[in-house]
Amino acid sequence: MKINSNIRYGLRAIIEIANSPKPVLQREIAERQEISLNYLDSIIAGLKNSGLIVNSGGKGSGYILAKKAKDITVYQVYCAFSPDLQLVNCFCDTNECQRSNNCPSKDYWFELNSKIKELMSSKTIKELMNNDILINQ
Amino acid sequence: MKINSNIRYGLRAIIEIANSPKPVLQREIAERQEISLNYLDSIIAGLKNSGLIVNSGGKGSGYILAKKAKDITVYQVYCAFSPDLQLVNCFCDTNECQRSNNCPSKDYWFELNSKIKELMSSKTIKELMNNDILINQ
DNA sequence: TTTACATCCAACTAATTCAGTTGGATAACT
DNA sequence: AGTTATCCAACTGAATTAGTTGGATGTAAA
């Protein structure tokens, strides 16, 4: 079990945006977070397409959060880069496992899955922000 | 985030062993769980090398749990096939990330990591066993 | 209006991991 | 001796990861 780079970088990027008193350019995020600008491109796209960040007003003007930091969860950031969490395929729609109806391990994985989702859904970007910054809350 | 096949099959195999009133052969597990006998080989090796199961009395005699089902956790099964859970490398020994000292996302991943470990450590094989079976507890 | 900057976007790639398979050694039981 | 069971290492195709490359497009400053 690993958290992939998209999600790790995505979380760092959105925290960077949340912490900034003014709109932030991709380049600034890339520099501060030491992520290749090109790679960050797709990270920003993920956050943007998921409706978590927006361009503040046309090109070159920088990114801001699309909603309040307290209303953005880590799980939303996770889902910007991965489909809904499914630790195993046993409970996927496309699953054809015959044993599914009576499988104690499947039940356990499902339970664990729910709890992990819950853990990620209950942490907001606001809680991960720099305490000094009091905007965007 | 996915649970890999080794761990999924390993959990199923050890539940199978726990549920059985008598020692179980690899072949029997393979048949009942519909896992290729050859592949199961390495699964059994993992469980055995981690001290979770033992040969009940030399070759051909079948496997039994090495300790009581209530003393074997899902996390122990996890660790039979993967190193200690580390969702991200930020807190690995070999990590050289400079930002580590003051990184809110690192702190969050660490917290999540601990909680997931806890969730896996607090579930025992006994809880996953068939209720009808009352041995090995 | 040209030019520089910034974003958008698709295709490519090397390296690693996954999910097994193959094949054989060894050991015990019949 | 032959069958069965376990042990063990090497191999493999497919998929995923973690990016890079290169260019199109759109905006704003010079």
The CATH number for B74's domain is: 1.10.10.10
Q: Is the dihedral of CA A19, B87, A106, B37 positive or negative?
A: positive
Question: Do the beta carbons of residue A125 and residue A14 sit within 8 Å?
Answer: yes
In this structure, is residue A97 part of a structural domain? no
Domain count, chain A: 1
In this structure, is residue B89 part of a structural domain? no
Residues of B in Cβ contact (< 8 Å) with A74? 108
The reply to whether B39 touches chain A by the CB within 8 Å rule is no
Q: How much is the pLDDT for A134?
A: 52
The reply to whether A133 touches chain B by the CB within 8 Å rule is no
Question: Do the beta carbons of residue A37 and residue A26 sit within 8 Å?
Answer: yes
pLDDT in tens, chain A (137 residues): 999 999 999 999 999 999 999 999 999 999 999 999 999 999 999 999 999 999 876 666 799 999 999 999 999 999 999 999 999 998 776 666 777 678 899 999 999 999 999 999 999 999 999 866 555 44
First vs last Cα of chain A: how many Å apart?
Answer: 32
Residues of B in Cβ contact (< 8 Å) with A121? none
In this structure, is residue A41 part of a structural domain? yes
Q: Which of B74, B108, B115 sits opposite A108 (nearest CB)?
A: B74
The reply to whether B44 touches chain A by the CB within 8 Å rule is no
Q: Which of A82, A109, A123 sits opposite B108 (nearest CB)?
A: A123
Whole-number distance in Å between B46 CA and D12 C1' = 22
In this structure, is residue A13 part of a structural domain? yes
For residue A34, the chain B residue with the least C-alpha distance is B99
For residue A104, the chain B residue with the least C-alpha distance is B128
Q: Which two tokens stand for residue A124?
A: 């907001």
In this structure, is residue A129 part of a structural domain? yes
Domain that holds residue A15: 5-84+124-135
CA B81 → CA A97, A121, B3, B131, distances in Å? Answer: 23, 28, 11, 27
In this structure, is residue A75 part of a structural domain? yes
Q: How much is the pLDDT for B91?
A: 79
The strand D neighbours among B residues 47-66, by Cβ under 7 Å, are 48, 55, 59-60, 62-63
Question: Do the beta carbons of residue A11 and residue B105 sit within 8 Å?
Answer: yes
Q: Which of A12, A103, A105 sits opposite B105 (nearest CB)?
A: A12
In this structure, is residue A119 part of a structural domain? no
- Kindly report the three-state secondary structure assignment for every residue of chain B: CCCCHHHHHHHHHHHHHHHCCCCECHHHHHHHHCCCHHHHHHHHHHHHHCCCEEECCCCCCCEEECCCHHHCEHHHHHHHHCCCCCCCHHHCCCCCCHHHHHCHHHHHHHHHHHHHHHHHHCCEHHHHCCCCCCCCC
For residue B3, the chain A residue with the least C-alpha distance is A87
Q: Which two tokens stand for residue B18?
A: 């726990």
C-alpha–C-alpha distance, residues A21 and B67, integer Å: 58
Residue A100 C-alpha from the chain's centroid: 30
Q: Which of B13, B25, B36, B122 is nearest to A105 (CA)?
A: B13
Closest nt to residue A30, judged CA to C1': C6
Strand partners, A55: A63
- Kindly report the three-state secondary structure assignment for every residue of A18-87: HHCCCCECHHHHHHHHCCCHHHHHHHHHHHHHCCCEEECCCCCCCEEECCCHHHCEHHHHHHHHCCCCCC
In this structure, is residue A20 part of a structural domain? yes
* pTM exceeding the 0.85 threshold for the entire prediction: yes
Q: How much is the pLDDT for B59?
A: 72
pLDDT in tens, chain B (137 residues): 999 999 999 999 999 999 999 999 999 999 999 999 999 999 999 999 999 999 987 777 899 999 999 999 999 999 999 999 999 998 776 666 777 678 899 999 999 999 999 999 999 999 999 866 555 44
Q: Which of B101, B104, B115, B99 is nearest to A125 (CA)?
A: B104
